[in-house]
Chains A and B, each alone.
Chain A
Amino acid sequence: MNLKKWILSGIFAFILYLVFLSITDAGFTANFIAYICLFVIAGQGWNLLGGYIGEISFGHAVFFGIGAYTVGLPVGYGLDINLLLLVFCGAIVAGLFALIISYPLLRVQGFPFLVGTYGLGIVVKSIVVVSPALFATRGIFLKSYDKEILYPLIVAITIAVIIFVKWLVEQDIGLKFKAVRDVPVAARMIGINIYKTKATALVISAVLTGLAGGLFALYGSFVNPSACFGENTSIFILLGPYIGGIGTVLGSLFGSTIVIILQELARSLIKVNGGHYMLMGLLLITVMMVSKEGIYPGLVKLMGKVKKAGAKRE
């Protein structure tokens, strides 16, 4: 029932976007929307691990970068492979990498996990930067993909991802994620294998983030270490769900959108050095102080209170 509603609204949003696109002619706005969509996909991926399992990762740029480089590297070596196919390969490679790396990483939880993922980001970035085989700091230029096809594709994939995540967290596996986050001891007591559950979340999360990375390579027609593997990428992926509402699909969707819009606005409006960092920092502090769970759950709570107050008055 609910799922149907989601699919319908997804199709509606997509049609709206197509109409919009035909009016604006794949210009700046469409470009910007596609850019937001990339981070929405990655944010949804992050949210599966950070929000539903409760393990904060500071290194999702690794999966993002792997996705992007899987698209970029064959082009760099002059191989002629369908780029869209490569995007999906990238997602799978990122997932495989997550599967391997989950073995050391998931042995720790909470704080060491956070530092470990940050370290993973640094390690992978340094390796890419120093190895000529991966084109070091020069990066790889791709031939630009037809925007009229690419932008609607990105939006369609975003909608599909959102619906998929929404569907996933309502399945048994999604409930298991939440169980592991809420009370690990009790989760074990009802027969959940914690390591396996966390690894599943990590892999799905990596696949989605890798998908975003692959699309990013197509979108920018350029991959280089600092744009793909940089800490800033990790931070933007992470900030979206955190500000919007960790552990909610809609919240992290709003969050990613807000973060990217604000970030770009600040970059173009505030001419002072470091102005956008200040804005992000203030936003983060305010959200955490006002509503610990993020904007969306905070709003939902507020609406509930308003409703209750209204009911009382009647």
Chain B
Amino acid sequence: MAPILEVKDLKKSFGGLEVFSGINISIEENQIYGIIGTNGAGKTTLFNIICGVLRPDCGSVLYKGVDITAKETHQIAAMGIGRCFQTVMPFKSMTPYENARVARAAAGKLNQDRQKFSLEEIMEITNLQDKMNIRTQELSLPDKKNVEIARALACNPEVILFDEVSCGLSGEEIYSRMELMRNLAKLGITVVVVEHIMLFIKEICDQVSVLHSGKVICSGTPKEVAEDEGVIEAYLGGKSNENFRS
């Protein structure tokens, strides 16, 4: 099966700082794909390049075999790539429902044939049905994160990118999100997660790539990655991999 999202030989540097020196990642359909890496490894930059916010110096991003590297962000969104940010950015003057509605009106209209949920269902999935009519500004952080997920879902995406969703959430909330991601994958949406928390990755991902100093140093199932010498060296400073196994 051809990969749905493919990153080929990507290079990017900011001034003198080289973030990527040629990385290759290919993501199969219906997977939950994890990308891990230390701080500053370029996880968010990778997402930004996929979404077209940043342009790579060299290399390409393929979505369903089509080169989207040079496309505008809104075109990419309309093709079916949704995204949640690490720092939450809901449209603060609107209610959660309106947040989803505007996304449906913008990108969702263009890929209606892929629609899996109605807006009401999205509200239910993301646990927002009680807060549908409160301005997002007044919601708590976990709810704002839910709004972001709802907004991304409303675009009718085929691939959805999660940028550190667990950041700032309690254990219980993280579990509910893991559950959500599994459900999405079951429904045929490819999920790409960037995470710090190993448990999270290990628990839900089918495939994992490890980014380190501008390169993908290892790819494979979580188990393979956890036992890879290079990863242990890079990620845990060569000590032990207790964190991985716990």
Contacts and interface: CB of A to CB of B under 8 A. Distances in A.
A192 B151 CA distance: 13
B114 interface: no
Interface string B74-114: 11011000110100011111100010011101111010000
A192 B106 contact: yes
Interface string B113-146: 0000000000000000000000000000000000
A179 interface: yes
A175 B93 contact: no
A190 B77 contact: yes
Nearest to A182: B91
B77 A179 contact: no
Contact of A176 (B77, B105, B154): B105
Interface in A141-198: 172-173, 175-176, 178-179, 181-183, 185-194
Interface size class of A (residues with CB under 8 A): 20 to 34
Interface residues of B, number: 30
A190 B102 contact: yes
Q: Among B74, B101, B151, find the residue whose CB has the most chain A CB atoms closer than 10 A.
A: B74
The winner among A186, A193, A247 for most chain B CB atoms within 10 A is A186
B101 A172 contact: yes
A188 B155 CA distance: 12
Majority secondary structure of chain A interface residues (helix, strand, loop or mixed): helix
B51 interface: yes
Interface of B: 51, 53, 72-75, 77-78, 82-83, 85, 89-94, 98, 101-103, 105-108, 110, 151-152, 154-155
Which are the 7 A-B pairs with shortest beta-carbon distances? A191-B107, A172-B105, A191-B77, A175-B102, A188-B73, A190-B103, A182-B91
Given A175-B98, A192-B102, A193-B72, 19 more contacts: A172-B106, A173-B105, A176-B105, A178-B91, A178-B93, A179-B106, A182-B90, A182-B94, A183-B91, A186-B91, A186-B151, A188-B53, A190-B74, A190-B151, A191-B77, A191-B78, A191-B108, A193-B74, A247-B93
10 contacts: A172-B102, A176-B105, A182-B90, A183-B90, A183-B91, A185-B89, A188-B53, A190-B106, A191-B77, A191-B78
